[in-house]
Structure 1
Amino acid sequence: MPITAVNKDLDALTLQVVADFTAPVRRLWDAYLDPSQIERFWGPPTYPATFTRHDGSPGGLSNYVMNGDDGGVSRGYWKWVAVEEGRSFEVRDGFSNDDGSPNTDMPDMRMVFDFQETALGSRLVTTTYFNSLEELEQLVEMGMEEGMRDAMGQIDTVLEDLAAFAAGNGTELQLIGDTQARASRVIRGSVDQVWRAHHDPELLRRWQLGPDGWSMPICEVSPDVGGLNRFGWQNESGDEQFGFVGETLESEAPVRSVTTERMWTPEDPEAANSPSTINEMTLTPVEGGTLLVLVITYPDAETREMILATGMVDGMEASYARLESEVLAA
């Protein structure tokens, strides 16, 4: 059990949890910043969490849902207030409605996560600041302390699984709910480099080449909200073409972008008959490079299965490997 102390201060309206680990600080930090890792311990074993968004930067937002073994559902969010890379972060933690909006009928809290190096590894001090004594007592009554103990008791297993989180693992895919998929990969390069590689047409043409033997003659990308994006590939003879068109919905350089995407062909150049997806890309600095997380929302489950069956993940991995070897290593 990693928790070594729990301190309640009714005068300061705080609940402080101290936990010690044999893993290095960097490993512990990365576990909290990677959605595929934090959801393995953010929530008790009987109420595991799924993160549909996790932006580890000031002004960012995290959304998660915990589905209980008893059929119960609990939704929550973090609003990221401050981040000191590798040392601490502060969030506003609260409950969410079914649509992801804050549930104002329930308390929200300020939480500070402080990561410290120790002789044996690392220490995490989590301090929760409540708005009133009534809110503190309400959440303690709801089992907050016991929930944190159960949740943090799972972290050691995650930290020991070093092979599950490392540069060179390749692109990994996880299905979320009925209509989403999350692809993630650690890319050997800085956040700024990976962002630029996704938004500079000259660089994009060097690594997003499509199938073997194809080129990318059309590459129009806009980082501005409302801007249009158009990409097109063709084979060597030029008698086969396809591409994607979409719009930039959100852009927070160099950490997050949200775009739409529809596939076009010469027979349907405006992609009027193609289903549209929403692609949310988040870039987070981690040990070994940048964690790229792409959450794709499809119009329905059938469309998701159809697109994934085309070998999309293999194509993404080939492109990311090319990005590392031909762009970032240059």
Structure 2
Amino acid sequence: MIERIPLYSCMVLAIVHSQLASLAIGQSHSTTVGDPVRPVEFKQIGLINLWEKYDGNLTWGKGQCLAILDDGCNLEAPEWKAKMPWGPKVVGGYDSIDLDSDPTPVPPGYHGTSVGFPSSMYFEGKRGVAYNNSVVHVRGVTVVHLRKDETRSMAAGLQWIIDHYEKYNITAVNLSALDDEAHAKPNPTIVDEKLKRLRELNVWVSAPCGNNNHKKGVSWPACQPYCFAIGATKPGTDIAYLDRFQNTDILVPARATSSSNAIIAGGSMVLREAILKNGYEWSKDGDTLPDAMMSIFKRTGVDVHDSATKIDFKRLDLQAAVESVLTR
């Protein structure tokens, strides 16, 4: 939980009601379940059941925008050139390194084009978690696996998101970059104030723990206090693997923690709509909406005991989380 800020609590509901008005609740872009981008993982977290049970009731991200901060995206990729009935899938972009509106990757950048597929794809029948959402791509680092200090461009990219979150109704940020180190404690940088501000604005921000099998810490910036740290279980099982430690917030089945993070970033958009649509009193679960959503994810998650670290984790059960707020 973050500290309460003077006057902040009275601002929270105003921000959330503004987001609710922007969600455009209505018919989603389909009445049938398409092919999931990650079939095993989506079935395991209950997403396919949610699609079938609540299609026409929930809209799977419609009216919400996901910001992806990575090493750049090729906007000519057919998945990102897709048109939704209400407009383009990609609604904006920024390069906080070259300071322009073109997030195209520059070698060695490679990762940002595909990292958003699990959360957001809607192309040729393939669907991500929140397939009706819109996306903005931010090139905030030169390469996803950081080789040098890129905090300045990351902070600038996050500031761009802060400056544009109302314009695009950005409700979640996939902060994909990672340093592949094992941090047991936070590593303070200039990025922290941006992360804190996004949390205050009720914007979900999460990052992958890493794929190095570290057991005594997780990557930066996932280790930071205003960024949720997302680890992984082996798909189809509840066996924890890859990087994880006590500062891991939750596990999501995936072949890499970047995919785990993408899945839960999309899942946060689905849960947000369920909370706001049903008038669920989320403030009892956390000081901010992202804190409340993580509390709900943990409360409804599947228990995972990791014998290697002797740590008890929770694994995402998106269906249980969503239904816990829809049935109250």
Which bin holds the TM-score, normalised by the shorter protein? under 0.3
Structure number with greater Rg is 1
Which structure shows the higher strand fraction? 1
When the two structures are superposed, what TM-score results if normalisation uses the length of structure 1? 0.25
**Higher relative contact order structure (alpha carbons within 8 Å, sequence separation ≥ 6):** 2
When the two structures are superposed, what TM-score results if normalisation uses the length of structure 2? 0.25
Which structure shows the higher helix fraction? 2
